[in-house]
Amino acid sequence: MAKRYLIIGGAGFIGSHLADVLLAEGDEVRIFDSLEPQVHGPQPLWPSYLADDVDLIRGDIGDRSALEAALGGIDGVFHLAAAVGVGQSMYEIQRYTAINELGTAALLEILAQRPVERLVIASSMSVYGEGLYRTPAGAELSPPMRSPADYAARRWDPVTADGQPLAPLPTPEDTPLDPGSVYALGKYAQERMGLVVGQAYGFEVAALRLFNVFGPRQALSNPYTGVLAIFAARLQNGRAPMVFEDGAQRRDFVHVQDVARAFHLAMTTPAAAGSVFNVGSGESYSVAEVAELLAAAYGRPDLAPELTGKARLGDIRHCFADIGLARTVLGYQPAHSLRTSLDDLLAWVAQQQAEDHVAEATQELSRRGLVA
């Protein structure tokens, strides 16, 4: 039977692809979005890539009356609304908290009175902090976030308490959490608030910890968005990708269409209720390697990554996904790989006019003492 779903934050990158998946399944889709200028540009226009048969409502998640109206007749909710960006969250603390935490609280207060069948929340890999590692003796541990002293000494990789090297491992969901930024704290609050309130009021909740999502429709002019979009904006403007630290930090890059499918599975799989799942590709790449691959795909292998030798406070060194739980419970299986999907991203980039704001964003972080 067809369902009616609300996607909060659905006009953006991930939400629009999710809308396409839901429509293909025969469901009805309503999108509630504030059309944030940092994401959508200065003119509050609905993106042309949104399907014609989606019901569109412009509103802020903190506006309770608008949100209540958007929830009318809805069977399930996908909560993707968030202010995104580790660095920016460290100085726009009130705005990030208002959107990510208080906005979620507003949603949950309404659902406590008017429950839906299920709420699926977009969380983030950032909640893990440094992720999981193995010691030389074979033990597994989660090291603390690196300190300003580590950055100043250019000690990029976490080590054991006695200075032994650590080998990064795929990070599963039961890894101890260590949110190292205001953004990470907000994402953890979103998932935990949802699970706690849902259990208390009898509606189902699941959360997805997203790793580095990439693909078409990603905002290219937002210097706090995904790293591949930032690199693409630099390349389109004839500039080398700017890479912090030494470029050896490892990440998991997952295609947006795989992520959209994971959200659908989290909504429709009975066993998903009450759980949190990693959504990644299950593969890891160094950031410098990704910059080189993208430059080559763009036809500019001469634009080698610019290694800054500096770090942004709150950034993690290595974190990539163990997706075994999502595979087992949701039946999630990534269908795209980074190497075979870069042309897909670049075809989107070719249709856009990207403004490169990376340098000014980095200057702002430096001015506030957030780059070491």
CATH number of 284's domain: 3.40.50.720
Strands 306-307, 167-169: pairing kind: unpaired
The mean per-residue pLDDT over the stretch 262-269 comes to 98
Which of the four pLDDT bands, split at 50, 70 and 90, describes residue 278?
very high
What number of residues does the chain have? 372
Region of poorest pLDDT, from 61-65, 70-74, 343-347: 343-347
Residue 166 has pLDDT above 90, yes or no: yes
pLDDT of residue 357: 64
* pLDDT of 223 over the 70 cut: no
Quick one: average pLDDT of 109-137?
A: 96
| Active-site residue, from 96, 133, 183, 224 | 183
pLDDT computed for residue 371 by the predictor: 76
Q: How confident is the model at residue 168 (pLDDT cuts 50, 70, 90)?
A: very high
With a CB cutoff of 8 Å and minimum separation 6, the contacts of 147 are none
* CA pair distance 89, 100, nearest whole angstrom: 11
**275 inside domain:** yes
Task: Confirm whether 181 is domain-assigned.
Answer: yes
Q: Which residues make Cβ contacts (< 8 Å) with residue 32, sequence separation at least 6?
A: 6, 7, 8, 9, 10, 57, 58, 59, 61, 66, 67, 70, 81
Domain, as residue range, for 277: 4-367
Residue 356 has pLDDT above 90, yes or no: no
DSSP string covering 265-305, please? HHHH-GGGTT-EEEES-S--EEHHHHHHHHHHHTT-TTS--
Number of domains, the chain: 1
What's the chain's average pLDDT? 92
Residue 231 is predicted with a pLDDT of 87
pTM over 0.85: yes
Provide the 3-class DSSP secondary structure of residue 100: helix
- pLDDT tens-digit series, residues 37-61: 888 877 888 999 999 999 999 999 9
298 a catalytic residue: no
Q: Are 274 and 204 in contact (CB under 8 A)?
A: yes
Residue 112 lies in a domain: yes
Place of tokens 């080698």: 304
Q: Does 372 fall in a domain?
A: no
pLDDT band at 346 (very low <50, low <70, confident <90, very high): confident
